[in-house]
Amino acid sequence: MQLVKTSRDNLLRPLQIVSGIVERRHTLPILANLLIRKSGSNVSFLSTDIEIQITTHAECGVGSDSVATTVAARKLLDILRAMPDGDVALSLNDKRMTVQSGKSRFALQTLAAEEFPTVAEAAEFNASVSLPQKTFKHLLAMVHFAMAQQDIRYYLNGMLLVVDGKKVMAVATDGHRLAYCGVELENEATGVGSRQEVIIPR
């Protein structure tokens, strides 16, 4: 069954994004995989390390059926990087995924999608805030050095993000030093009846 047919670059871009948090060694072997879900032409690629989950989408599906499977993220990425520019097809047959481009053909073992652990998504959000990517990167850059690493006080292993009206603040500490950065938004955050706070894991 053919899942995907598109140009190499169209497939490479979303895979590079989701493969960023995939480690080569895991206590759970399936965490080295990425989850591929196809529903008609829409294909989603999802990876997780249990703490963080990344999902990207691409309109590259073939056929109208819905299919889900998992495959080794790094191996698939390495294969695509080694391939020349041109169309690439991903097909699923029994428990194997075939990657084909021109005369090149590779087979990868898959694991059942049902075994893949996903981070539960919130059913509803108390607040929504929109800010430029550059601004958010600046917030992270100003406080990330003060985040704790593998502290038993797990709440220190991340960044406190505070949304209060038109202000967004980032705070991090490892118990010895503290970093703070605040920025003003052009538009007030929506759905904020009062100050909202969340800890984003390192």
What is the pLDDT, as a whole number, of residue 126?
A: 63
Q: Where are the domains of the chain?
A: 2-115, 133-201
Reduced DSSP (H G I as helix, E B as strand, rest coil) percent helix, strand, coil of the chain, to 5: 25, 40, 35
The hierarchical CATH code for the domain 2-115 is: 3.10.150.10
Domain covering 133-201, topology: DNA Polymerase III; Chain A, domain 2 (3.10.150)
Residue 93, judged by CB atoms within 10 A of its CB (0-12, 13-18, 19+), counts as exposed
What is the pLDDT, as a whole number, of residue 179?
A: 94
Domains 2-115 and 133-201 share a fold: yes
What is the pLDDT, as a whole number, of residue 131?
A: 83
What is the pLDDT, as a whole number, of residue 169?
A: 92
What is the pLDDT, as a whole number, of residue 191?
A: 67
Long-range CB pairs of 168-176 (<8 Å, 24+ gap) are 168/129, 168/131, 168/139, 170/139, 170/140, 170/142, 170/143, 171/143, 172/143, 172/144, 172/145, 172/146, 172/147, 173/146, 173/147, 173/148, 174/146, 174/147, 174/148, 174/149, 175/148, 175/151
* Per-residue confidence in pLDDT tens, the chain, 202 aa: 888 888 888 888 989 999 888 876 767 888 999 999 988 888 899 998 887 889 999 888 788 788 899 999 999 999 999 888 889 989 988 889 999 988 889 999 999 999 998 877 665 666 677 888 898 899 999 999 999 988 888 889 889 998 887 888 999 999 999 999 998 887 777 765 667 888 888 7
